[in-house]
Amino acid sequence: MIRPATSADASAICSIYNHYIENTVITFEENPLTEDEMAERIRAYSEKYAYIVYEEDGEVIGYAYGSSWRTRRAYRFSTETTVYLKDGAAGKGIGSLLYSELIERLKGKGFHSLIGCITLPNEKSVRLHEKMGFKKVAHFHEAGWKFDQWLDVGFWELLV
């Protein structure tokens, strides 16, 4: 089931996201989030963008949301998109279901340019974005530093 995220989902979402913070370079965040910090993000992103979860048998398996791309007014129709799945849940089509729903919700709110930022290499995320119709529009070399290594990032865009 896909539904809007609520502050009651903060613990489950923290569990999913903090795994990526602590163990991967997929996110450039370096400090795990608290449930209160996550609940605030859910509240803030839900108001203007969309924040959804995929729930299976009462457990949140994944989530997706839109957030600010840039702050100047001219960017008001652009949003950065994000999707995360519980470790081990990839390859079951959940990411595609979440992204499809997120795209529709953001489109319904008047967004025109959806932008995905991917730490490279990350073939699974690249495949997901391209399956959803995103096209690669930028590649920045050594743009981030985490776990004692320089990391590239790429940007994929979908116009809706």
Q: Express each pLDDT in 124-147 by its tens digit.
A: 999 999 999 999 999 999 999 999
pLDDT of residue 90: 80
pLDDT of residue 89: 83
> What is the distance between the alpha carbons of residues 8 and 17, in angstroms, rounded to a whole number?
15
Q: Is the pLDDT of residue 114 over 90?
A: yes
Q: Where are the beta strands (DSSP E) in the chain?
A: 2-4, 51-56, 59-68, 78-85, 113-120, 135-146, 149-159
Mean pLDDT of 100-122: 97
pLDDT of residue 146: 98
pLDDT band at 1 (very low <50, low <70, confident <90, very high): very high
> What is the distance between the alpha carbons of residues 74 and 30, in angstroms, rounded to a whole number?
30
Q: Is the pLDDT of residue 51 over 90?
A: yes
pLDDT band at 157 (very low <50, low <70, confident <90, very high): very high
pLDDT of residue 140: 98
pLDDT of residue 62: 97
In terms of Cα–Cα distance, which of 81, 136, 140, 82 is closest to 113? 81
Eight-class DSSP state of 49: S
Domain housing 52:
2-159
- 25 phi-psi bin (left φ>0, alpha ψ -120 to 50, beta other): alpha
Number of domain units in the chain: 1
Mean pLDDT of 84-107: 94
Mean pLDDT of 20-41: 97
pLDDT band at 88 (very low <50, low <70, confident <90, very high): confident
Eight-class DSSP state of 47: H
What CATH number has the domain bearing residue 125?
3.40.630.30
pLDDT of residue 91: 79
The mean predicted confidence, pLDDT, of the chain is: 96
